[in-house]
Every structure is written in C-alpha cells, then in structure tokens.
Amino acid sequence: MINYKALINGEFIDNGNWLEIYDPYNNEVAGKVTALKPEDIEKAFMFARNAQENWENVDLITRIKLMNDFKNLIEKNKNEIAKIMTSEISKNLKESLTEVERTIELIEYTLEEAKRMEPLALTGEGIGAKNKIGIFSRVAKGVVLAISPFNYPFNLALAKIIPALVMGNTVVFKPATAGSLVGAYIGKLSIEAKFPKGIFNVVTGRGREIGDIITSNKEIDMISFTGSVPIGKNIKEKASTKDLVLELGGKDPALVLDDSKLENWSKQIVDGAFGYSGQRCTAIKRVITTNKIADKLVPMLKSQIESLTVGSPYENKAITPVIDQKSADFIKGLIDDSVSKKAKVLCGNKFENNLVYPTLIDNVTLDMRVAWEEPFGPVLPIIRIDDLNEMIKIANDSEFGLQASVFCSDISNAINVAKKIKAGTVNINGKSQRGPDCFPFLGIKDSGQGVQGVRESLLSMTRYSGIVINY
C-alpha cells in the first residue's frame, strides 16, 4: 500500500489525517493520501500567490526545460504510474499505460506550442490611427486552480497543469479522490524535477469536504475544471473567479444514417460506448437510427459486446468494475427503468457488486431515463426512429452538447447532418473522443463552457498584455 502526501510550497504535508483510497476491483486499500484541512488549503493558495511573480519572471526557455525534465521523469516511471492508476480507478493496465504515454505526447506538444504564443502586433493605420503600433503579448493570469475527474487522473490533470505552469502561472491542483494517488505522485515527480517552491501545489481530500473552500479562495485567477455537471454548476456559483473552463458531462449520440459500412461502424460504436467501461465523458451513450438499419446493426453490436472480456483490470479485461457501488447502483436504476417501460435488454444487465456486464438495450423510447441520463458505465441504448429530422431533434433535445457521431457514407449528407447537431464537435464515421489532445475540446449547454486542448488551454490560462507605441 502506498501513502502519498499533499504538496504545499515544496513540502510534503502530513497533518495526521489520511484519506484511504480503495481499489474498485478488490475493495482493498490501494493507498492513502493526506486529508487536508481548511487552513492547509489557505496556505497552498498563499504560497502559490507568493511564488507566481518570480515564476513568471523566469524566462520561457527555462520554464520549458524544467517541464521537459518533469516529462522525462514521467517516461522513466510510466509503468509505476500506470499500476497506481489501475489500483485506484480500475482502468486496465494497458489503458492506464496508454493514458500515461498519451500525456507524454501532450506535454511535448504543449511545450512546442508555448514557443508559438507570439504577441499580436497591430497598426492603427486601417482605422485612422496611423501613428499607433500595438503589441499584445500573452502573459500569465496568475494563480490557476486545476481540478480533475477520476477517469483520466493523469491526462486530464496534466492537460491543465502543464499549460498553466509553462506560461508562468502557479498552480493549485485538486485531484479526484479516486485518482489522488496518481495526483500526489505528480507532486512527487515535481519535487524530483526541482520545481521551484510554491509553483505547483497538490491539495488532497474529499471534494465534498474541501471543494467549496478551495474554489472560493480569493487568490484564484482562473479555474480549469473537469467533472460532472452538478459540481461544475456548483463551482460556477461558489467560485471566487468568473474565469472558468468547465468540461462536464455528455450524452453523445451516434446517428447511423445508412447500412453501407455497418461492420466497421459497429466496431467504432462498441469501442466508443464501452472503452474504460463507458466511463468516458465522450463515450457514445445512445445510438439513434432507423428500424431497417437497426435490424442489421443491433445483432452486430450484440455479438461484439458479448465478446468483450469482463473482469480484472490487472488481466487487461475490456470491461472492469465501475468506480464504486454507488455508480453501479445508478446504472442498474437506469436499466431497470427502461425494462419497466418495455425496453428489450439484449445482453448484460448482470451485476457482480460494481462489476457491470456490458449491456445493450434495444427499443429505447423517449420516456425512459436511459435515453437522456448519463450512465457513466457500460450501457448502450438503441433509439429507433425512421425520420431523419426527428433523429436530429432527439440528438439536440439533450441537456448535453459535448460531442456526437454521424455514420454515413455520403460525406455531403454527413456534413449537412453534422452541421445541424448542437454539440462541441461532431465526428463523421468515427467514435466521439476528446483526443487527439491538440484538437480544441469543448462542450456546449450543460456539457461545459470554455475550451480545452493544447493551444486553447495555453490561451485560456493567459491574457493579453498590450503596449501601444505612439510615433
């Protein structure tokens, strides 16, 4: 069992209070992290503020070099990081390692992009101000609060931390409770990489106990949050800053408009719906198609879903336990509701505690909760509708607007339909996904505000600083 400590001002904090992190697979204690108290949180922000000006004055190349040293330590320890991740979120070892390697690429790309945050130079000549030249540089906002969710505890943490630090901000980072071991490990690596004291702080503890204390701290200049809609809305209400990037929940639809490539598309849909046991914000969470296409597609989906391996994340099974029993119970509630309203469960709907077998539900109607709510688990509802405009309406009637997929061989038709779907991004002939990490990533409606992605994060964590020369 590993014990990691919170990190404040370059010191590991042991205040005698611990938060036990349980392995969702075997329910054993995977490790412990410091459970910080309110006064500890105040200190973290005070030291972050105190360190920020000096850190911003360090030249960009030196900041990049330090981040690169940190990245090299990740490379060196990637297998250990992956094992820790698996032990606390039940992501299988292979997918955990993939997340770490993906993050290394994200950091490399971010450090390259940081050099291209060129100032904007403008002349006033085109608007009757010929004696003025304006130079608008991007500078740090100050103290950034980064809050990450359980399902990508490494990638969605560093996707915020690295752009913030490399542009001269200092960071207070709150990992999810399930994800805190990995989060605290990031702190450990930052010390080995010799980050200056106070530029990077890791505050651990239950969000429900310290979350509001954290987000209401007056030293915060910007919050980058990834998590659920309720918590995102709570942050909007309680935060001491209005400068927010929120990446929230999703109910991504997959519209299947013809049956020309169903073999290929069905694989995309199964991968999109059941990757990491459906615990992805961008998971495909509903298929909307015609009866005729569904009659061919559903048997393909069923056969592929039934071949998904189920069990231990340590044996790289495809479907592993969801994060906790509460999540499993919620998923069961959605399935039970659909069955009570005459939906047809074609496979799955089998539970071994928080191990949820991959479930395919056909004939889902709009009165069922599973048509609209986010299971965050291995559940795929099929909604059969023969009218294209009605399909698009159902896709858009959701409170969510993260991503969507349109499967259609006629690209012009696919684009025309995609343009009518109200979402941050529509994927044509592919599953919905946030990656590659250099693409802008955004949700509309309840799925979030602001934009993530390498360049977008560098921009959201900086502001213009203008100098106008009069001559």
Q: Applying CB under 6 A, which residues contact ligand NAP?
A: 147-151, 156, 174-177, 206-208, 211-212, 214-215, 226-228, 231, 234-235, 247-250, 281, 374, 376, 402, 434, 443, 448
Nearest distance, CB of residue 363 and ligand NAP, angstroms? 26
Cα–Cα distance measured from residue 219 to residue 466, given in angstroms and rounded to the nearest whole number: 24
Question: Other CB atoms closer than 10 Å to residue 61's CB: what's the count?
Answer: 10
Cα–Cα distance measured from residue 428 to residue 408, given in angstroms and rounded to the nearest whole number: 7
Nearer to ligand NAP, 153 or 198 (CB): 153
**Contact yes or no for 181/21 (Cβ under 8 A):** yes
Q: Sign of dihedral through CA atoms 172, 177, 183, 188?
A: positive
Nearest distance, CB of residue 131 and ligand NAP, angstroms? 47
Nearer to ligand G3P, 89 or 310 (CB): 89
247, 373, 374, 456: the active-site residue: 247
Per-position b or e across 240-270, b if 16+ CB within 10 A of its CB: ebebbbbbbbbbbbbbbbbbeebeebbebbb
Measure Cα distances from 205 to 10, 144, 210, 291, 348 in Å. 18, 18, 7, 49, 35
Nearest distance, CB of residue 109 and ligand G3P, angstroms? 14
The full length of the chain comes to: 471
Nearest distance, CB of residue 275 and ligand G3P, angstroms? 6
**Contact yes or no for 377/391 (Cβ under 8 A):** no
Question: Total number of residues binding ligand G3P (CB under 6 A)?
Answer: 9
Nearest distance, CB of residue 432 and ligand G3P, angstroms? 7
Among 36, 214, 223, 281, binds ligand G3P (CB under 6 A): 281
Nearer to ligand G3P, 55 or 152 (CB): 152
H-helix or E-strand containing 287? strand 284-289
Omega cis (within 30) before 153: no
- Given ligand NAP, ligand G3P, none, residue 431, with its beta carbon under 5 to 8 Å by kind, binds none
Nearer to ligand G3P, 9 or 425 (CB): 425
- Given ligand NAP, ligand G3P, none, residue 174, with its beta carbon under 5 to 8 Å by kind, binds ligand NAP
Nearer to ligand G3P, 201 or 405 (CB): 405
Cα–Cα distance measured from residue 421 to residue 255, given in angstroms and rounded to the nearest whole number: 10
Binding mask 387-426 for ligand G3P (x = CB under 6 A): ----------------------------------------
| Orientation angle between helical segments 60-89 and 155-166, nearest 10 degrees | 170
- Given ligand G3P, ligand NAP, none, residue 433, with its beta carbon under 5 to 8 Å by kind, binds ligand G3P
Cα–Cα distance measured from residue 46 to residue 219, given in angstroms and rounded to the nearest whole number: 7
Cα–Cα distance measured from residue 268 to residue 286, given in angstroms and rounded to the nearest whole number: 13
Nearer to ligand NAP, 235 or 383 (CB): 235
Tell which positions 240-259 bind ligand G3P, by CB under 6 A.
none
Least Cα distance to 446 among 249, 234, 223 occurs for 249
Tell which positions 140-169 bind ligand G3P, by CB under 6 A.
151-152, 156
Nearest distance, CB of residue 358 and ligand G3P, angstroms? 17
Nearest distance, CB of residue 435 and ligand NAP, angstroms? 11
Nearer to ligand NAP, 147 or 297 (CB): 147
Told to check if 433 binds ligand G3P by CB under 6 A, we report: yes
Eight-class DSSP state of 221: S
Distance of CA 409 to the CA centre of its chain: 30
315 carries an active-site annotation? no
Cα–Cα distance measured from residue 409 to residue 413, given in angstroms and rounded to the nearest whole number: 8
Binding site for ligand G3P (CB under 6 A): 151-152, 156, 280-282, 433-435
Catalytic (active-site) positions: 247
